[in-house]
Amino acid sequence: MKTQEITRDQMIEILNAIKGCKPVTIEFASPPKMLTKSKVDKSPNPYRDDVLKVRRYNGMVNFEYENSVNNQREREGGEKDFKVGQASYGTHVGDNRIIVEHEDGIRKYVQFKLENVIEQHYEKISDGSLIDTQSLSDFFSDRPANKGQGVEKSIKIQRILATNIKAFVHNKVRYEIID
């Protein structure tokens, strides 16, 4: 596989040029949302502000969310009557549905449909050491099930802050982001 170093602005240009629904692999790292105290015993969170969640995901970019949900409804024997509501997070940039600009006009996100988690782990920001996921579990809030789609297997949408992306693979080229 060919590897190419690019800037973040070049990443936005490359992604915005994708035509049609296409597979990508995205590698990114961001601080996870954590509770300040344990949900079990209310002890202080010793990991707060010193954890990165590092992920490598496969997904589809430039997909139609409404079509994806309706296709899943049909696979599960339901009606294809899902309608997308008004987006509250920002607006799409360009002619496709990959780059989303936050309403603040500064932050940009890459939107894709999660298909597969290839790798996911937590590490300490201070020294890069791995943290066992089980030791963090008491400091994450419970996530509610997505009931709005009306499906058992929900369509998972990821909007990744562009500054958190470290690399991505598209059309057999690995693009590594340099800051």
Give how far Cα 85 sits from Cα of 104, 148, 149, 157, Å. Answer: 20, 10, 11, 14
Residue pLDDT, tens place only, 40-91: 999 999 998 999 999 999 999 999 999 999 999 999 999 999 988 776 778 8
Domain boundaries, the chain: 2-178
Please give the residue that has the higher pLDDT: either 95 or 149.
149
The helix/strand/coil state of 71 is helix
| Six token digits for residue 85 | 């509501």
What does residue 23 show for φ and ψ, rounded to 5 degrees? Answer: -80, 145
Lookup: tokens for 68: 């994806």
For 106-148, the pLDDT digits (tens) are: 899 999 999 999 999 999 999 999 999 999 999 998 877 667 8
Report helix, strand or coil for 90. strand
| Average pLDDT along the chain | 92
Phi-psi category of 171—alpha, beta or left, where left has phi over 0 and alpha has psi -120 to 50? left
pLDDT digits (tens, 9 = 90+) for 16-54: 999 999 999 999 999 999 999 999 999 999 998 999 999
Q: What is the pTM of this model?
A: 0.88
